Amino acid sequence: MDGAMHHCLFDTDLGPCGAAWSERGLARFQLPEADRRATERRLKLRAPVSSAAAPPRGIAAVITDVQRYMAGERIDFSAVALDLAGVAPFYAEIYDAARRVGWGETATYGELARRVGAPGAARAVGQAMARNPVAVIIPCHRILASGNKVGGFSAFGGAFSKQKLLGLEGVRIGARKETGQLSLSERW
């Protein structure tokens, strides 16, 4: 590969996702948006200098694993090669700690802050999770607010999407209140 960034869209049971990569590894991952066009638009915003391409073998394997994960299979993404160029060192440390939170497990923002030696930095952990360039691969959905509350989630669908991903892993956080909003299956 020539060092440039490339991207592609692919289908999953939860809707179209997107991936962008460089020769160093996966650089961006896009969860499903309202539709395929919105997913592609969001991916291009997050990887503006990328060009559409067929994924190389390593990225194709990650895509297959994401498809299997979103179909409910237990998948471990901790060994996926990432290109986190431009990520602040503190965020990189937080992302590394988040990658050690395994399938079906959760941790709070405060716990993750303590794991990286920064007790009291729970808000910084939350900011890092909101800026996570490769959601699911760095499992920000497994990081909860204090009291094991869902907390925020910057993907389309917000906290409902976070609960959907946790549900794939058998994790249930509280009961869904009727709000008159679209259900997850209607969103994804």
Where exactly are the structural domains of the chain?
Answer: 6-70, 89-175
For 6-70, which CATH class?
alpha beta
- 165 closest CA partner among 175, 155, 178, 180: 155
pLDDT digits (tens, 9 = 90+) for 113-169: 999 999 999 999 999 999 999 999 999 999 998 887 777 777 777 788 888 899 999
Percent above pLDDT 70 for the chain: 90
* Neighbouring C-alpha atoms within 13 Å toward the C-beta of 173: 28
Show which residues are catalytic.
140
- Helix runs in the chain, H state only: 36-46, 57-70, 89-99, 109-115, 122-130, 158-168, 184-187
Task: Indicate the fold that domain 89-175 takes in CATH.
Answer: Arc Repressor Mutant, subunit A (1.10.10)
104-125 pLDDT, tens digit per residue, is: 999 999 999 999 999 999 999 9
Computed over every residue of the chain, the mean pLDDT equals 88
As separate numbers, helices (DSSP H) first and strands (DSSP E) second, the chain gives 7, 6
